[in-house]
A and B are shown apart, each in its own frame.
Chain A
Amino acid sequence: MSAVASSSDVEPLVGGPRAPAELLLRDVHTLDPRAGIDARHDVRVRGGVIAEVGAPGTLPLQGEGGGDGAQELVEGEGRLLLAPGFFDPHVHLRTPGQEHKEDIDSGTRAAAAGGFAGVIAMPNTDPVLDSAPLLRSLRDAAAREARVPVGFLPAITRGLEGEQLTEMAELRGEGALGFTDDGRPVASAGMLRKALQYQRLCGGVLSLHEEDPTLSRGGAMHEGAVSAALGIAGIPSVAESTMVARDAALAGYEDARVHFQHLSTAASVDALADAKARGFRVSGEVCPHHLLLTEEDVRGLDTRMKMYPPLATEADRVALVEGLRSGVIDCIATDHAPHARDEKEVPFEQAPMGTTGLESAFAALHTGLVLTGALGLSELVERMTAGAALFELPTPTIAVGQPANLALVDLDAVWVAGEHGWESRSENCCFAGRRLQGRVLLTLAAGAIAHRDRTLALAGAR
C-alpha cells in the first residue's frame, strides 16, 4: 500500500561520520545470508562504497604499488568474519532531556561498537518526541553528532498519554519512520484503531509496546515462583500476550502494518504466529536479554535485570529462541535503555526499567545461542540485520556498488562484558561481568568507519 503523504524527499536516516572509508579487507570470511555469500574473500571499500569483492589474496593494496589513493589494510587471515552491518530498530538515545543517561553521540558510539550500522530511536524523551519541530531539531542534531545513521519513531499519541493522535502526516513529512508510544502501551483499543486508520494517509510502521496496564500495574518483575518468593508484585505473561492478540486483530481488521516490540513470552510468540498465519501485516522483535536470561536471574535483585517486559521463565525463553529461529519473530532489537548509576543504585522496586544492550548484543547472542547450537551463525546475522527492511529501509548487504555497512568480527575473541568500560554513558548492562566470545573489531556505517576496536591490528595503514 503506498502512502499518500510520501516522505520521499526526506532522507529516512540521518547522521553518521563523514570521511568515506578507504579499506582493503583481505581474506575475510564474508557472510551475507540474504545474498547467499558464505566464503573467504577480499573486499575493497573505495570512497565508502564496496568497490570489489574477489577471491582471497587476489586484490592488491592500492596506494602500495601505484594505486590511486591510500588504503588501510586489514588482514582477516581467513578467520575474521565480515557481516553486513547490524540494524537495531529499538534504542533509547535519551535525547532530548535525559542526556545524563545517554546522548546521540554516546548512544551511536555504543551502537557502532556493537557492529550496528543503523538504529531507530524511541520517542519517550523529555519532552516527548511528538511534534514536527522537535523531530526536525533532533534530526539536525543527529546529522551533526551521530556516529551511525539514526532514524526516529515519534509518538503515536501526544505526550505518550494515549488520548490524542500526534500530527502523524506532518511528522512523516519530516522523516518519521513510523510511530510508537514505546515505554507505554496504547491502552485504548479505540485510540489504536484510529492510529491504524490514519496510517492509510501517512504510511509508516506502528511499533507497539504491548502491555495491559490493568494486568501489569504495580508489577516489577515476571509473575511466578521467583516473584512469589521475593514478595515483589508480578507482571503476568498475559499482560503482554493478550495485547499482542488484540492489536494483531485490530491490524488485521484495518489491514494496517504493525510491529510488535520486545516480545518476551511464549504466548506472545503464539499470538504473532497466529496473526501471520492469517496473513496480517505484522512483525516482531526480540531482545538479547529475553533470549538469554530468565526470572531466575532476577533472584539476586540486581537492578540491571529489571526491564520491561520482565525476564520470564525458561519455557518462555526457549519459545522465543525457537520463534526467532523459525522466523515467526523477524529480528533482534536491543531495547538499549541506559540509566545513570545513581538511578539504578536503589532498591529493585524503585529502579527504572531497562538494560543497555548495543555493545553486548552480538557477543552475548553468539556466546549464548550460536556456540550452544541453538541458532546458526548465519541465522543470527540475518536476524540482526532484518530490522531495517521492517521499517522500509534498505538492508545492509555485501555487494559491489553498495554503500559500506559492515561489521568485522573476531569470533574467537573472549572478553568480559564491561571490563574496559562502555562507549555508552551508562553501564546498566545485564550482561556485565559475563565472559563473552566474539568481538566487533570494526564497524562501517554509511560508507565510513564508525568504530575501530582497540585490539584491531591494522597491518597496512599508510
Chain B
Amino acid sequence: MNHLLSIEDLERADIERIVTQAEAFAEVSDRDIKKVPALRGRMVLNLFYEASTRTRSSFELAAKRLSADVVNFAASGSSVEKGESLKDTVLTLSAHKPDAIVLRTPWVGAAELVSRWCSAAIVNAGDGKHEHPTQALLDVYTLRQRVGAIDGASIWIVGDVAHSRVARSNVLAFQRMGAKVTVAGPPTLIPRGIEGLGCEVRYTLDELHTADVVYALRMQRERMSETWVPSLREYASWYQINGARLTPRQVLMHPGPVNRGVELSGEVVDSPQAVITAQVEAGVVVRMAVLYELLAGRDARPAAGPALGEGGRASLIGSQQA
C-alpha cells in the first residue's frame, strides 16, 4: 500500500491486516514508555486545512509513539491565506522531504490529487464530504474489540449522512467486513443515490431495534441556518438516539464530538453500551498501524519530484548535447 486515500481502494484483507497490526500496537499504549522505534528518523507532516484538534492530535500521537518526527502545518494563518494554491503549498512543503503527509481538506479528492504531486505517502484524514478512512478503520477495530467479527451484523448509521465523510467511509468499510448497513435520517440529509453504495435507506427510526450497532453522526448546528431541517428540537424528537430507542443489546458509536441532547441523549452517552471513548483510544493505535503499513520496511523517500528550475535546466543541457 502506497497511500491511504479511501476505503473504496481497500480489500477486506487490507482492512484486516491494518486492524491486526493495530491490536499489536495496543500493547504499546499500556507501557510506561509509550514508544517503539519503528519509524525513527522518518518525518510525518500533518497538513490540515480544517480545524481538527482531535484527528490531528491522534495522528501526532500515533507518529510520536512510532518515534517519527512530526511537523504540524495548519493552513489557517499561513501562506494558504495569502492565496497559495494547494499544489504550490504541497510542492513547497515537499522540499522538507516528508515521508508521509496526513492531509485534511474541505475538498473531495484532494488527497488523491496530492498523491500525484509528491512522493510522500499520503494519508487522507478527511477530504471534504467524501471519505475519512482512518475513522472507518478505527471503528472497525473498535467493533472487533467489542463484539468480535461483524459478518452479518446489522449496522445503522443515523443522522446527517449528506454532509458526512464518516458515513461514506463507514458504509464501505462495514460492508467490506461483511455487515449489512442501513443509513437513516431526515430525507433532506440523505443524498439521492446513496443506495448506490449498497446500503439500505430509512427515513424513520421505526426499525432501529433490528440493528446490532447504532452509529450516530454529529448534527452540525449550521445545518439549521441552511434550513436542512426545521429545528434541532424537531430533529431530536425524530432522530435522537435515547434510552427509549436504544435497546440494551445494541452497541452505540459516534465519531465525536458529541452534541449532547441533539443526536444523542446524555443517558446513552454515559451508558455502558456506548463505545465512544474506546473509539478515541482506537484512533491512536489504528493510525499507528496505518503509518507503519505505509512507511515501515520501505526505503526513506527520495526527494520530492524535480523542482521546476532543475527540470528546466536538465532539458536545456540535454538539448545542447544533442
Chain A residues at the B interface, C-beta cutoff of 8 Å:
223-234, 236, 301, 342, 345-350
Contact = CB atoms under 8 A, between A and B. Distances in A.
B135 interface: no
A227 B109 contact: no
Interface string B160-194: 00000100100000000000000000000001111
Interface string B109-129: 110110000000000000111
Name the residue in B165, B191, B197 with the highest tally of chain A Cβ atoms < 10 Å from its Cβ: B191
Contacts of B193: 223-229, 234
Nearest to B109: A301
Contacts of A233: 129
A301 B195 CA distance: 20
B203 to A, nearest CB: 15
Given A348-B107, A350-B107, A231 B85 contact: no
A37 to B, nearest CB: 48
B187 to A, nearest CB: 13
Contacts of B194: 228-229
Given A301-B113, A346-B86, 15 more contacts: A226-B193, A227-B191, A228-B194, A228-B197, A230-B108, A231-B129, A231-B131, A301-B108, A301-B109, A345-B87, A346-B113, A347-B86, A347-B108, A347-B110, A348-B109
B130 interface: yes
3 tightest Cβ-Cβ pairs between the two chains A and B: A347-B107, A225-B196, A231-B129
Contacts of B113: 301, 346-347
A233 B189 CA distance: 11
Contacts of A225: 193, 195-196
B108 A349 contact: yes
B105 interface: yes
Contact of B87 (A224, A236, A301, A346): A346
Nearest to A223: B192
Given A346-B85, A347-B113, A348-B107, A229 B197 contact: yes
Interface residues of B, number: 24
A227 B194 CA distance: 9
B168 A301 contact: no
Nearest to B132: A231
A231 B112 contact: no
A347 B105 CA distance: 10
Contacts of A350: 107
Contacts of A236: 192
Contacts of A229: 168, 193-194, 196-197
Contacts of B192: 223-224, 228, 234, 236
B212 to A, nearest CB: 25
A78 B197 CA distance: 53
27 contacts: A223-B192, A223-B193, A224-B196, A225-B195, A227-B191, A227-B193, A228-B193, A228-B194, A230-B109, A230-B130, A231-B108, A231-B130, A231-B168, A232-B108, A232-B128, A232-B129, A232-B130, A234-B191, A301-B113, A342-B85, A345-B85, A345-B87, A346-B85, A347-B109, A347-B110, A349-B108, A349-B128
Contacts of A227: 191, 193
A289 B168 CA distance: 29
Contacts of B107: 346-350
A225 B199 CA distance: 12
Contacts of B129: 231-233
A304 B127 CA distance: 20
A342 to B, nearest CB: 7
B152 to A, nearest CB: 24
Nearest to B169: A231
A346 B107 CA distance: 9
Nearest to A295: B193
Given A226-B193, A227-B191, A301 B112 contact: yes
Contacts of B85: 342, 345-346
Given A223-B192, A347-B109, A348-B109, A231 B165 contact: yes
Contacts of B130: 230-232
Contacts of A345: 85, 87
Contacts of A228: 191-194, 196-197
A350 B129 CA distance: 14
A43 B108 CA distance: 55
Interface string B192-218: 111111000000000000000000000
B19 to A, nearest CB: 24
Contacts of A301: 108-109, 112-113
A342 B308 CA distance: 14
A230 B191 CA distance: 11
B56 to A, nearest CB: 20
Interface in B76-115: 85-87, 105, 107-110, 112-113
A351 to B, nearest CB: 10
A326 to B, nearest CB: 29
B51 to A, nearest CB: 18
Nearest to B191: A228
Contacts of B108: 230-232, 301, 347-349
A349 to B, nearest CB: 5
B211 to A, nearest CB: 22
Nearest to B196: A225
Contacts of A223: 191-193
Nearest to B87: A345
B172 to A, nearest CB: 9
A347 B107 CA distance: 6
Contacts of A231: 108, 128-131, 165, 168
A396 to B, nearest CB: 42
A345 B129 CA distance: 20
A345 B85 CA distance: 9
A236 B85 CA distance: 30
A305 to B, nearest CB: 12
A227 B191 CA distance: 8
Nearest to B163: A231
Contacts of B191: 223, 227-228, 234
Nearest to A220: B108
A233 B195 CA distance: 16
Nearest to B192: A223
Interface string B26-60: 00000000000000000000000000000000000
A224 B86 CA distance: 28
A225 B198 CA distance: 11
Nearest to A350: B107
A238 B250 CA distance: 41
Contacts of B110: 347
A231 B192 CA distance: 11
A350 B110 CA distance: 10
A347 to B, nearest CB: 3
Contacts of A230: 108-109, 130
B199 to A, nearest CB: 10
